[in-house]
Structure 1
Amino acid sequence: MTAQAPAFDPGDFRRALGSFATGVTIITTRDGDGEPVGLTVNSFNSVSLNPPLVLWSLANEARSLPAFRDAEYWAVHILATDQEALSTRFAKRGEDKFSDLDLERGLGDIPLLPGCSARFQCRTASRYQGGDHLIFIGEVADFDHSNNPPLVFHGGRYAHATQRVSTKPGEPYLAGSFGEDFLGYLLGRSHFRFFSRIRPYLEKAGLSDEEFYVLSAMTLKPTMSSADLGKLTAGVLDETSDRTVDSLIARELLTRETLADGATCYRLSDRGREIALELISAAKAVESQVLAGLGPDEDTVLKSLLNQLLGVLDPDVGSIWHPDDPRGSNA
């Protein structure tokens, strides 16, 4: 007598499978009418090097199943870390997924997407029924790849792949002290070294670090309430906040206004906006030079992680830019 597998919750099973990090792919082909067809898939895997075979699977109820089942050729695109929006677009139903895309043409006129980490053009070798999915085996007829890090999917969320530093951090001299892999050391030294390249531009404009912080942040929101300004400076300027704002007002770079409801708000003056944009342009140039030293697309990974870290350390920071308050609207 054959033992039956124990019953388990499909949702728990899906979450357990999500523990395995996968790359994110888009599979494309053309249907019988010659129209491009594509969808986001994370079931892609390699099968054999000789002959070169790959596989992926598609749900039996998928609307695109007939197109892929009848196709001679299809392409697998391994998405790069900056193609999250493209993955989301091809995961949705009922929209023109290929609209405004700069497509290339592959074998059998299949549509090819640019900017990917890798692309494999495949000829259908075989198909197998596997439960509620149809499994496609393809023989790779052509491929290309780049140095762009791949987009990763793990635990139901997008993630970013990056190279790990192979050098071992130095051991601290005093037992119990932090080493050079301590987060505070890494962030602190990076901040000071980064700002040392921007500071000459600030000195030329006669601005302090604190004044530049407020002035540049004000460019993100043309009218800022006193409450939002307090959130912006809390934990950053603190006791120097009032002095910094008063200095910018005295120099006519910032204005303080009282609204009809009695609330106080702040705006950039025309001169303040002009100086802020000049300095931001210079800072952006410095940023480009610094980030050029990282690997391809690792700047995206770095900024994503820093945004997550900021959300952990300062959960209220997002509310500063919330659009619900008409006084802070960009309209």
Structure 2
Amino acid sequence: MSQSNVAIDSRQFRNALGAFATGVTIVTTQDAEGRDVGLTASSFNSVSLEPPMVLWSLTKTSGSLPAFMEGEYFAVHVLAADQQSMSDRFSKRGIDKFEGLALERGAGDIPLLGDCSARFQCRTSYRYEGGDHIIFVGEVIAFDHWAHPPLAFHGGKYAKVFPCAAAAVTEPEDVSSSFNKDYLGFLLGVASMQLAVPVRSAWQAMGLSECGYFVLSVLAAGKHRTLAQINQILSLGEHHFDDAEMDRLVTAGWITVEGEGVSRQFDLTAKGRELTVKLFVQAKSAEQKAIEGLDWDDLALLKGLLQKIIRNTRV
């Protein structure tokens, strides 16, 4: 199935992103002389569904960095389970990685590989420094998604991903606990606060309140939100989007307001969207630091358990 150009379906885009398992991708572009450039990369993440945006990062010492710094377009290929040899090829240096390959051409004449699980053609929107890496954020202008099981990389080895049957939803057990270090709420609260520290510092430095940060986050997740829709989501964290906060965000040039009264709709401006991308990069950096030492199974189990907790405690 293929989706291209401006009319990108959010549901299909989400399905294509779901093909990404543990980060076995190949990213391609062209350099200033028109030579094809590509490498195996593991740092791929979705950023936004509307507009569709993704990010990946590249070490500053990479010989391929100038091509991606100068290029307007790049493509991310999520490799299929039978493409291990392709991953190995594009992780090597000093060889013609494209020799003998049947290539398609995408936006800006970038090389496109075939037989992947998913493929995203992107226009570079932002480049940020992230320690010893450069983080590339691209707007997806076309993508393809095929029903090929993705290639995984786990514990230093390649692996295949097999879907599991959905677990039955069960009622939560009654657990009595005191407010100490064994209390789940305490542990989740501490973890949440520690993850939020670098992001909070970033939004405060940019002149955002906590409520303003959450409003921008809600608008980054969907267009044309009404005041009632925003406050329904913010109420989970006991925040309220009032006229004073609205005026601050509009005056700062981060959001727009259309309509009157209860029918008013809110959207991010280009300036506001760029700000949310910067904050997302900060959040992903904090997440990466937090999960150091966890292998793929640990992380998948943790996320699965948290999703069950959220489902069981939803009001």
Shorter chain as normaliser: what TM range?
0.3 to 0.5
TM-score, normalization by structure 2: 0.46
- Which of these two proteins has the greater Rg computed from alpha carbons? 1
TM-score, normalization by structure 1: 0.44
